[in-house]
């Protein structure tokens, strides 16, 4: 079924990683949402978890990332869990190191915030939407309901994956930000796919567990030995 093929592409994307304007009663604008979504890029360090839920296939994928931009070169750890499958990838000193048990696969690659963090981007200028917001004690919850005739293109642009003949009938984005600085705490994007009378719901949730001084990115000491061996293969032990 084509819906399953699309879901499989989303799974692989996350594993290897992966609007006209209405004002609100509280006078919040889409610029507030954009500011909140972009705020995580200003963190020197962050710990966040992505969860992808696919209803029809009963699939849940979790991707935890710890990133440290406070040094000369960025460090990062990515842990992925999908059923019984788990993997860990380290980024340190300009290298990408995939770890499975005691086996390391090292290759030269600098960690890149835009390329290696599976964070969707949204061009609200090209979307029709309705924006609403509500306050809690210390947070603001923005809800963006995307409408219009071109929902397929929006989803394809966000996930870099064609939906084929499937229709996208509903997209909703929920962004939770802290009141004080409008910094992002959590966001959820959900949408429904339909084809030939079948439908399925997809939900992607991103939660920031900690930021800046509350985050510690610890690289195993033996990983540095693996990098040294890769970069200087002819060195005698």
Identify the pLDDT of residue 38.
87
Residue 131 pLDDT level (bands cut at 50, 70, 90):
very high
Which domain does 123 fall in, by range? Answer: 2-231
> Considering the domain boundaries, does residue 237 fall inside one?
no
> Considering the domain boundaries, does residue 124 fall inside one?
yes
Domains identified in the chain, total number = 1
Identify the pLDDT of residue 25.
46
Q: Where are the beta strands (DSSP E) in the chain?
A: 45-54, 59-68, 75-82, 85-92, 95-100, 103-108, 128-135, 139-147, 167-178, 184-195, 198-211
Identify the pLDDT of residue 22.
37
> Considering the domain boundaries, does residue 48 fall inside one?
yes
What is the mean pLDDT of the segment spanning 126-150? Answer: 88
> Considering the domain boundaries, does residue 40 fall inside one?
yes
> Considering the domain boundaries, does residue 161 fall inside one?
yes
C-alpha angle with apex 190: 42 to 147, nearest 5 degrees? 100
Identify the pLDDT of residue 20.
36
> Considering the domain boundaries, does residue 236 fall inside one?
no
Examine the pLDDT at 13 and tell me if it is beyond 60: no
C-alpha angle with apex 28: 27 to 33, nearest 5 degrees? 170
Residue 149 pLDDT level (bands cut at 50, 70, 90):
low
Residue 19 pLDDT level (bands cut at 50, 70, 90):
very low
Residue of 66, 69, 97 lying closest to 208 (CA atoms): 66
What is the mean pLDDT of the segment spanning 202-209? Answer: 92
Query: What are the residues facing 129 on neighbouring strands?
Result: 146
Q: Spell out the residues 6+ positions from residue 8 whose beta carbon is closer than 8 angstroms to its own.
A: none
| pLDDT tens string 70-124 | 888 899 999 998 888 888 999 999 999 998 777 789 999 988 887 787 777 788 8
- Say how far apart CA 37 and CA 98 lie, in whole Å: 29
Q: What is the pTM of this model?
A: 0.77
Residue 168 pLDDT level (bands cut at 50, 70, 90):
confident
> Considering the domain boundaries, does residue 9 fall inside one?
yes
Edge to edge, what strands does the sheet with 139-147 contain? 103-108, 95-100, 85-92, 75-82, 59-68, 45-54, 198-211, 184-195, 167-178, 139-147, 128-135
| CATH number (domain holding residue 177) | 2.50.20.20
């Amino acid at each position: 079924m084509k819906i399953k093929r699309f879901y499989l592409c989303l799974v692989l994307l996350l594993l290897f990683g992966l609007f006209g304007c209405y004002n609100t009663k509280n006078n919040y604008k889409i610029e507030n949402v954009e500011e909140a979504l972009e705020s995580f890029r200003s963190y020197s360090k962050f710990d966040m978890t992505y969860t992808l839920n696919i209803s029809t296939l009963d699939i849940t994928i979790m991707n935890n990332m710890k990133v440290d931009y406070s040094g000369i070169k960025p460090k990062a750890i990515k842990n992925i869990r999908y059923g019984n499958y788990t993997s860990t990838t380290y980024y340190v000193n300009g290298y990408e190191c995939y770890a499975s048990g005691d086996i390391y696969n090292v290759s030269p690659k600098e960690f890149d915030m835009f390329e290696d963090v599976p964070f969707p981007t949204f061009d609200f200028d090209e979307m029709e939407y309705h924006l609403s917001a509500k306050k809690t004690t210390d947070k603001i919850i923005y809800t963006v309901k995307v409408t219009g005739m071109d929902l397929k293109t929006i989803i394809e642009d966000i996930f870099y994956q064609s939906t084929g003949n499937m229709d996208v009938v509903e997209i909703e984005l929920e962004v939770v930000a802290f009141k004080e600085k409008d910094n992002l705490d959590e966001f959820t994007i959900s949408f429904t796919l339909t084809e030939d009378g079948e439908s399925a719901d997809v939900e992607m949730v991103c939660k920031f567990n900690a930021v800046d001084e509350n985050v510690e990115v610890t690289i195993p000491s033996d990983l540095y030995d693996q990098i040294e061996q890769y970069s200087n293969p002819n060195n005698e032990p």
